[in-house]
Amino acid sequence: MNTVNVCNAPLVPMVAVTGCPERSWIKQRLEELRSAGIDQFLLYPRSGCELKYMSEEWLNTCEIFIQEALALDFHALWLYDEFNWPSGQCGGKVQAASPNYALQLMKCTPKENNSLQVEIITDPRYPNLLHPEAMELFISLTHEVYARRFGQYFGNFIKGIFTDEPSPGYGANYAGDPDGVRMIPYYSGIEEEYEKCWEIPFRQDFTHPDFTDRCRQLVGKRFRENYFDRIRQWCDAHDLLLTGHLMEEHIMGNSRNHSATPLAAITGFSMPGCDEIFTRLKTNTFEWLTFATAHYGIRQRGNGGLAELFALGPADMPLSRMSAMINMAALFGIDHYILAVTQLDFRGNVGKYAWFNPYSSDQPWWKHMAYLSQSSQRSAELARRPHAPEIGVRYPRECIEINELLLNLVQNQIPWHIIGTDDPVSAQETEVISVKSGIWTLERASKSFSSQEALINELVEHWLQSITVWENGKLAEDVFIRVFADGSIILQDLTDSAAVRHLTVRRHNKEYGIELQGRGCYELPAWKVRRDRPNRMRVQFDVNGKFDFTLSEPMTLKVAVREYSPVKISLNGTPLTPEEPAAELPPGFEPLYKSITLDLAAGGHTLLLADGKDVYPYLPAVWISGEFALNSSTLSADRQNGEGLENYSGGISQIGTVKIPRNAVGFYLDTDDLPSEVLIDGESIGSCEDAPFFWNIPEKFRGKRLQMEIIRQTSIGPVFGDVLSFDKYPIWSDAYSGQYPVKNFVIEPEFRLL
């Protein structure tokens, strides 16, 4: 199967072919797209097209598009598998071929004495996606025709085929109307399959509480196998991606009526997608379930994702709003953005009179379209960045709307993602929320709650957040937070307003102010913290001369033992005889010690001091040195995240990619009063040795994403231990304050703006 070849710009205009366009007009419209930095598009047959769909003249016009696009150095073209929508009918030809190829529903009407009247209703407006022969006909009328004509471009220039709102459930109502009448998608054999699966006849089981779910499972399985698997296998064999989106993703009841089992359906795509044509960019209206469903499919398939955006406009939507919508899509793993609709001309407005938001030179702002191309590239990069572990929200088996829960998690700044009804819990879930019969459960903690409010309160109180954002003294609302595995964080404004917000960020045990542009995002970098020498710790023996420590993984360490006023030690009962120079220690200590290099296994170890005393606060009996981080008495590999370096003495280099605001004249750093130097893009912008720790930003760096390096030099103090020693040796308290010179090994620039 073809894998995604990422183009320069991930914007994909839906180029609606209207009228009977001449080559010169096609070329002119494609030149406009190319001049805006767009290098791929979706060929879209829809209202306003005066070419007979899938006719020779239609195919000839498609060939002109391909030829002109290649000549203009477009990188990709995507095919659309239908005329208008929904997919599966080839412009109505499928259901016209046989009454059985039209959508069929079982109208189930309860009667007296618990009997059930079943009537098969046919709707010729829609295709029967559950009928194998109907779908084979669909493939032969559409996909096979394209393959015969354009197969040479498959897998190289033509990347994939877009399927739009396929559904076996138009008109379906599994749960029933107020009179108990249910409309269930029908296919030949469904009643027999029902009885085989649940050992009771379909018509005798309709009062069972699981009847609705059982019907959905059967229809969902058939939909996945007969439609998605069948078409995706064809696409795989022809080196194409199957992409597109489902119908009615944003409300669970509607989504289940149309797709039966939406998560099974979304994973049927090779490149899952979603539909968000309204551009809902406020927290309480954003389509959380729509994007969560697509994100689930994207994570399962691992091949990127796609979103159809903006079709309902409005036509005066600012570019900042478009950019914000694209960025929100990216935060759910979507790296291709369909711009709906780019019409060759506007005769299609007769048939689709409410859909007008053109992406063409008809927009006076078109010369600025390159801005959206460039910003979308950054969004696509975010989409491919792995997420840190999050709260998992289990897709409920019951038809319980969970949008309110997703909204509450967002407003309480708790990152989450959807997992399947029966999916095992993985390392990507710090906790899992599930709901059944109105009871909300935290699965890892084995705690249940009778209300969603109690569940949220529990999470707010006990779930450790790596970052919180505050506004006017309270947790900021209308901010979506996405934490990535590398430690970087995106804050996306969801006020759908252009106003600047003054926020306070709490991260790494510190607070600092930021300005979040309305509809904009603020990126907190993933800092890498590096040392300029090995980490060292003074071994703090207890009153009996014993020191227990644990290695979380196998590790090579150096143990330096004092020769001046000599001491003797043993490790795990074996005496140590150091003979190496203690070159890892500061020069003033090096001649007073000898070292030994030890390869130690993971697990517990014990050092024992022969005379049981370590009486000199500034001439330790024993040091341990190595590439480790320290948490209490546990040593683990240094992950370069600034954790576990409390005893470190030396140079600290903190490196990350920072977006410097365009109007930033400088920035402050809370350096812990350590002498510090800052480099931007490899160039030093100066050092500071005392307060205020402020750096001016050269104008050439403003408004750019550049590498920033903050270098601080600690004192020698941290290596001598912590205040716990004072309980054992009170005399030391007169000699050492016990305060760490370095409070935080990751600090953030606080920009000063014009």
Report the percentage of the chain scoring pLDDT > 90: 88
For the record, the structure tokens of 617 come out as 């606060």
Whether the per-residue pLDDT at 738 is higher than 60: the answer is: no
Given this model, what pLDDT does residue 733 score? 53
SS3 659: strand
User: Scanning the structure block, which residue is given the tokens 């998605």?
Assistant: 228
Q: 374 with 399, same domain?
A: no
176 found inside a domain: no
End-to-end CA distance of the chain: 52
pTM of this structure: 0.91
223 found inside a domain: yes
Domain of 478: which CATH number?
3.40.50
Q: 551 with 586, same domain?
A: yes
Give backbone dihedrals phi and psi of 351, rounded to 5 degrees, phi first. Answer: -80, -35
Q: Which amino acid is at 426?
A: S
Report the percentage of the chain scoring pLDDT > 70: 96
Given this model, what pLDDT does residue 722 score? 62
Banded model confidence at residue 70, pLDDT cuts 50, 70, 90: very high
Q: 140 with 234, same domain?
A: yes
Whether the per-residue pLDDT at 76 is higher than 80: the answer is: yes
Give backbone dihedrals phi and psi of 203, rounded to 5 degrees, phi first. Answer: -75, -5
- Pick the closest to residue 533 from 587, 582, 585 (CA basis): 585
Q: 376 with 395, same domain?
A: no
Whether the per-residue pLDDT at 5 is higher than 80: the answer is: no
Separation between Cα atoms, residue 57 and residue 45, nearest integer Å: 13
Average pLDDT over residues 579-588: 96
Given this model, what pLDDT does residue 577 score? 95
- Which residues fall within 8 angstroms of residue 254, CB to CB, at 6 or more apart? 248
**Residues 171-191 pLDDT 10s:** 999 999 999 999 999 999 999
State the DSSP H helix or E strand holding residue 549, giving kind and residue range, or none if neither.
strand 546-551
Given this model, what pLDDT does residue 283 score? 97
Domain termination residue (choose one: 449, 480, 514):
514
Given this model, what pLDDT does residue 734 score? 53
User: Scanning the structure block, which residue is given the tokens 């305060």?
Assistant: 739
Q: 59 with 158, same domain?
A: yes
pLDDT averaged over the chain?
94
Banded model confidence at residue 6, pLDDT cuts 50, 70, 90: very low
Whether the per-residue pLDDT at 435 is higher than 70: the answer is: yes
Banded model confidence at residue 736, pLDDT cuts 50, 70, 90: low
Asked whether the beta carbons of 241 and 1 are under 8 A apart, the reply is yes
Whether the per-residue pLDDT at 278 is higher than 70: the answer is: yes
Asked whether the beta carbons of 616 and 592 are under 8 A apart, the reply is no
* Rg of the Cα atoms in the chain: 32
Q: 379 with 292, same domain?
A: yes
Give backbone dihedrals phi and psi of 143, rounded to 5 degrees, phi first. Answer: -65, -45
- Which residues fall within 8 angstroms of residue 440, CB to CB, at 6 or more apart? 433, 434, 448, 449, 450, 451, 452, 454, 455
Q: Which of 262-271, 423-432, 464-473, 494-503 has the lowest mean pLDDT?
A: 464-473
Separation between Cα atoms, residue 61 and residue 16, nearest integer Å: 12
Asked whether the beta carbons of 344 and 19 are under 8 A apart, the reply is yes
Q: Which of 31-40, 115-124, 295-304, 735-744 has the lowest mean pLDDT?
A: 735-744
Q: 15 with 151, same domain?
A: yes
Separation between Cα atoms, residue 517 and residue 40, nearest integer Å: 30
Given this model, what pLDDT does residue 399 score? 87
Sheet arrangement for strand 474-475: 474-475, 467-471, 501-507, 510-516
Of 235-239, 347-351, 464-468, 724-728, which one has max mean pLDDT?
A: 235-239
When divided into structural domains, the chain yields a total of: 4
For the record, the structure tokens of 411 come out as 């407003």
Q: 346 with 435, same domain?
A: no
Asked whether the beta carbons of 618 and 562 are under 8 A apart, the reply is no
175 found inside a domain: no
For the record, the structure tokens of 23 come out as 């080559």
Give backbone dihedrals phi and psi of 159, rounded to 5 degrees, phi first. Answer: -90, -35
Asked whether the beta carbons of 193 and 40 are under 8 A apart, the reply is no
Given this model, what pLDDT does residue 160 score? 98
Q: 593 with 705, same domain?
A: no
Q: 253 with 333, same domain?
A: yes
Given this model, what pLDDT does residue 719 score? 85
549 found inside a domain: yes
Asked whether the beta carbons of 296 and 264 are under 8 A apart, the reply is no
Separation between Cα atoms, residue 352 and residue 419, nearest integer Å: 37
